[in-house]
Amino acid sequence: MSVALRRAAPSDFPAVRRITRDAYLRAGHFAADHPYLSVLEDVEHRAAQAEVWVAEAAGKVVAAVTLTFAGQPYSEIARNGELEFRMLAVDPRHQGAGVGRSVVRAIVEHARLLPGIGAISITSATFMERAHALYRSLGFRRAPERDWYVPGEDVLLWVFRLEL
């Protein structure tokens, strides 16, 4: 599926919220009452502190992702010279059609145009196996020395990195 990646406008926020919530719940990553869902759903806060982007296909928002850089509030792992992306979510109605792959490719192309950015980093929970396969297929490599645990939880997060 061909998608166009662009910065989200406030009018996109309801779609971003729905897609992100639906994608995370459908994948079984969290229960509906998990506190992280409120973070995922607060698109307004995210957009004020980082860059929220959407992917459109046939005029409809089909995916969303957050881009951030070292030292910014939504950055968890980015180092100087890295673009970090987080909260990549594809509308469940469009999963399996190559949307996620198209979004990550568009992020890579965008990052290559950014001055001073030489790599992309991403965190992924150990149980997000579909995401791992996607990242590896696009050239991302594990950076196990940068893995970390969610504070207060027994959830290990893996770091993947792509040199540009």
pLDDT, one tens digit per residue, over 68-116 is: 999 999 999 999 999 999 999 999 999 999 999 999 999 999 999 999 9
- For residue 58, give both structure tokens: 């046939």
Q: Output the CA torsion 141→76→92→34 (10° steps).
A: 130
For 103, the 3-state DSSP assignment is: helix
pLDDT of residue 2: 81
Q: What is the pTM of this model?
A: 0.94
> d(Cα 143, Cα 164) in Å, to the nearest integer?
15
For 144, the 3-state DSSP assignment is: helix
Q: Smallest Cα–Cα separation from 89: which of 111, 65, 105, 108?
A: 65
Label residue 49 by pLDDT band (50, 70, 90): very high
